[in-house]
Amino acid sequence: MSLLADEIANVLGRRRKENRLEITPAEVDQVLAELDIPTSASRGMPVHLRVARVAFKGTKRLKTSHPDAEGRPLETIYSDDGKMRLDLDATAVPTETDAESIGETGDASEDEDSNDAAEVQVVRALVPFDFEWKLSDGVTGIGSGSNLRGKSSLVNVLLWSLSGRCAEFSVSVKRWIEHVEVDWVVGSETLRVAFDAENGEVRNGTVTVTVIDHEGLLETVLASFDNESFEDAMSSVMLSRLRLEAFTVSQSGKSVTHRWASYVNALWVRPKYLSSIIGKEPTLSVRLMQMFIGTDWVPVLATTSTVVGILEAKQKAAKERTNTATAAVQNSRLQALDVVETVKAKIAALPAGTPEPAKLAAANARISELGRQIHALRTQLLNRSVAADAVQQQLKAAKARHHTQYEHALLTKFFHQMQPTVCPRCTATVSSERRAAEPDEHKCSVCTSDLNLEALEANVVVADSVEASVTSILLESTRPVIGEGEEAPPTSEIDALEQARAEVESAMASLGAQIDKLQAAHDQLVKETDLEASLLKAVENRRLLDLELARAEGAAAALSQPVTMTDASTVDPVHVAVAGAAQKVLSERVKQHQDPLLTTISDEIGRLVANFGADSLSNIKLDGAANMTLRQNGDPTTYGAVSPGEQLRLKIATVIALIKHGYAESIGRHPGFLLLDSPAAEEMPDGDLATMVSALLEVAEEAPMQIIVATRSTGPLVSLLPEKNRLIAEGADFVW
């Protein structure tokens, strides 16, 4: 039984009645073991980390106009062949900006070979290089008269070899470097990290340790790695030797483990990464600060907090699933109740009354009979209509013929009574002697044609060559002509047709009357049977609606029960209670130990910031959540609200204060190694930089540490640092 388990059991037993949990310390120990929460803590002891030597070599790609390119072999690539850019302008001297962190690529826009068009040749001279530098403890400076002269890339080589990550290099420098060797002193051991590289991809890497025994120097390979395993290899080698532990955090309900590379991010300060007071990522600031301060239970608290976060995320997910299911059931119940009301409304809307099936059958039979009779009468009416049309057409034709004969008779009578005096063709005179001779000579007085004697007897002058039908018409025309207004004698054909038409119309009227009478009876019966049929349909619909209503009411009743979720992933409430109580107990332990240390560290940060030239900042307080409050010219503010230059000073001061605290108390975990890249980039004049370097030298005398400062402001480095502690490239020269 552990003391931690005993305290957790007491906390759970002192809760209010509804949340109280009676559990023994032995059971708590078992739960902690199931959750992988340690029950003991180890005291943090700082182990020093130093870089003793850095060496790397490879081949630069320089313009053919560069002085070092003379006599060197050339390399030709094309702008669209997928290779990395190789441009380097050795003469560009831009102002100091964050671009310095890229490396020595220079100003690509001034490269006369640079062109966005396809298939543009880029020619570079291949110039080999071999750089080596041995470093000392204390404050070391890397400087150059211009930007983009290799300061930041040298820092990046150190970080690459230390963390196993290659993220800050320019593509050109990645291509140049072909082999790296860095000697790191970890406590009493010297570790050499060596590897080959091609375009930033690591090959043939090893971590070796040099051991001195009775046989002399022995090198033992601790780890071998390639590009994929480099980071893991450095974690396995460094964490145990620096007495640091991998820590986990809960992110989106999942446990994420952070190893050595996350610690390395807290060992260097670069102006473009100022969002967090410690390290590179704000989400890890609290864990890194707690680890570096070195209170005993910090690693256990970190693990416990991660477990609590995961359990809470699982509980939240289960609750959300339950809420989702409950909402779905509630919606389904409301829909079922809507269906019940809808069915009831349909039942209420059904017509009242009881249908008589026999009456409905007789009516349907009568309707069918009436339909047949109406159809037969309409057939007769149609036939009579056809006959009436025929009689009407015949009557119309007869009247037309009669009218034509009447007009012809009138014309014949008129023209045959005319007495022509000349021939209408030759104008020969028709003499009276010739007209008088017509009855005797039987010849026409005009054309001298032979006359029809029978017609002539009827006083009709017509040639005997005329057709008999025409002659008969002329004879008929000799009858008296009916004058206007006189009544014509009836003709048998027209009278017969008129009589036939009258009879047909009378028959059609009689049939129409019969059809109307039968149709009225038919429509009345249809109306009556429709009502009876609707009643029958209503009865059937009522039966179906009653069944539907029963089902809807049953569904609504079933959905009214509370939702019971069965989830195999549901978190054990005992685990949640124990983990929560453990977090509370450990937080109190860490707070009790950490708060006094934070007060001391905050005071040291305030003193260092004043020494760094930011005397407007005061009353600095760093809390357990890695938040910082302070006063600026007497007004309250926070770390995130001050200028980037002030943030840079505060961040550097915080890291150094943690290093001093670990040295003074012998409990911190910070290894005492710090890289400052381009601190003057954030509007820091040479005077303030000199003040900062002087303060760093003072701190380095108080506590063993190694601080490497890379800057373009070389004046303070030259004036304050001994020659062995500085690497300066004068004018337009390169650091390497």
Does the pTM surpass 0.95? The reply is no
Residue 164 CB neighbours (<10 A): 28
- What are the structure tokens assigned to 72, written together? 């060197």
Tell me the C-alpha distance between 246 and 283, whole Å: 15
Q: Considering only CA atoms, which of 510, 512, 498, 507 is closest in space to residue 391? A: 498
Dihedral of the CA atoms 165, 170, 176, 178 (nearest 10)? 0
Per DSSP, 18 falls in state G
* Calpha distance 657→532 (Å, rounded): 101
How many Cα atoms occupy the beta-carbon half-sphere of 385 within 13 Å? Answer: 9
Could you tell me the CA-to-CA distances from 93 to 67, 69, 104, 106 in Å, in that order?
Answer: 17, 20, 11, 8
Give the per-residue pLDDT at 476.
Answer: 67
CB contact at 8 A, 579 and 308: yes
- Rounded CA gap, 251 and 287, in Å? 14
Q: Determine the angle formed by the axes of helices 3-13 and 25-34, rounding to 10 degrees.
A: 110
Q: pLDDT for 587-609, tens place per residue?
A: 898 888 889 999 999 999 999 99
Task: List for the chain the helix, strand, coil content (%; round to 5).
Answer: 50, 20, 30
**In this structure, what are the phi and psi dihedrals at residue 735, rounded to the nearest 5 degrees?**
-65, -35
What's the burial of 668, exposed, middle or buried (CB within 10 Å: 0-12/13-18/19+)?
A: buried
Secondary structure in 3-state letters for 568-588? CCCCCHHHHHHHHHHHHHHHH
Residue 62 main-chain phi, psi, to 5 deg: -110, 160
Question: Which residues on adjacent β-strands are paired with residue 248?
Answer: 257
What single letter denotes the amino acid at residue 233?
A
| Residues in the chain where the model's pLDDT stays below 50 | 81-117, 568
CA distance 619 to 605: 10
Q: What is the structure's pLDDT at 89?
A: 37
Please report, for residues 83, 156, 192, 684, the alpha-carbon distance to residue 201 in angstroms, rounded to integers and kept in the order given: 14, 15, 19, 36
- CA 68 remoteness from chain centre: 53
Euclidean distance between CA atoms 163 and 153, whole angstroms:
15
Which residue's structure tokens are 């034709």?
Answer: 397
Residue 139, pLDDT score? 94
Residues 250 and 306: beta-carbon distance below 8 Å:
yes
pLDDT of residue 109: 36
Q: Residues 670, 633: contact at Cβ < 8 Å? A: no
Taking CA 313 as the corner, what is the angle to CA 311 and CA 314, rounded to the nearest 5 degrees?
A: 65
Which two three-digit tokens encode residue 352? 């009242």
Query: What is the identity of the amino acid at 562?
Result: P
d(CA 302, CA 311): 14
Domain ranges, ordered by start, for the chain: 3-34, 358-482+489-526
Integer Cα distance of 182 and 358 in angstroms: 111
731: left (phi over 0), alpha (psi -120 to 50) or beta: left
Token pair recorded at residue 58? 């490879």
267, 674 contact by CB (below 8 A): yes
DSSP 41-72: --------EEEEEEEEEEEEEE-TTSGGGTT-
